[in-house]
Amino acid sequence: MSKPLDFYYSPTPNGWKISIMLEECNLPYKTILMDLKKGDQFTSNFLRISPGNRMPAIIDYDTDIPTTIFESGAILLYLADKTKKFIPSSKIGRKQVIEWLFWQVGNLGPMAGQHSHFWNYAPELEKNSYAAVRYAEEYDRCFEVLERQLEGRHYIVDEYSIADIICWPWILIAKSMGRSLDSFPNVANWRLRIKERPAVRKGVDLMRKKKD
């Protein structure tokens, strides 16, 4: 049994990526709930762990000296390598999973994140601005990309992997952010398939009241 990890967390799609992975891998962890509105991410202690002042982040105490990891993609890859779970052992499979991990980091994550900002926080006058529409359409374009990749597949890279875990939380909340998955049946079915996993439900429910 490994030592519990410290998990710096807030119940958002970026936080769920890691709570889901920790539950899927059955790893012991201690949750440190962050109040982002209060500014917990700017404390000097947290900035030493996550220099970009963003959660999620973890500390692994199972190593010679405690290992800090920030950025959800890096954390997922670290945990997959640590546990040898949710990443293929073949070189080609690993390469494919890392491609989709990077795709989320550079595409789905930032577009959904910026859309979420406009949707939740922009002043009314800005809601239909060029920038707001651009992010919404780019978010939709990511659905199209996933729709093609999921054609004839149950998961992004054949077997359920960290590629699914990193993308899924941003698709879970698409409808609640005014986007429709009606034209993307492969994505909609994949969303439901993953939602049924007990570890996923546990991860999404961590310190959060049910909404979706």
Closer to ligand GSH by CB, 116 or 186: give it: 116
3-state secondary structure the chain: CCCCEEEEECCCHHHHHHHHHHHHHCCCEEEEECCCCCCHHHCHHHHHHCCCCCCCEEEECCCCCCEEEECHHHHHHHHHHHHCCCCCCCHHHHHHHHHHHHHHHHHHHHHHHHHHHHHHHCCHHHCCCHHHHHHHHHHHHHHHHHHHHCCCCCCCECECCHHHHHHHHHHHCCHHHCCCCCCCHHHHHHHHHHHCCHHHHHHHHCCCCCCC
Least distance in angstroms from the C-beta of 35 to ligand GSH: 11
**Residues 76-115 close enough to bind ligand GSH by CB under 6 A:** 109, 113
* Interface region with ligand GSH, contact rule CB under 6 A, candidates 8-16, 130-138, 151-159, 190-198: 8-16
User: Does residue 186 touch ligand GSH according to CB under 6 A?
Assistant: no
- Give the x/- contact pattern for ligand GSH in 21-60, rule: CB under 6 A: ---------------x----x-----------xxxx----
Q: Which stretch binds ligand GSH (CB under 6 A): 10-18, 60-68, 77-85, 183-191?
A: 10-18
Q: What's the closest the beta carbon of residue 8 comes to ligand GSH, in angstroms?
A: 9
CA distance linking residue 200 with residue 61, whole number of Å: 24
Closest CB 186 distance from ligand GSH, rounded Å: 24
Task: In angstroms, give the least distance from the CB of 91 to ligand GSH.
Answer: 25
φ and ψ at 52, to 5 degrees? -90, 10
Least CB distance from residue 92 to ligand GSH, whole Å?
25
Residues in contact with ligand GSH by CB under 6 A are 10, 12, 14, 36, 41, 53-56, 71-72, 109, 113
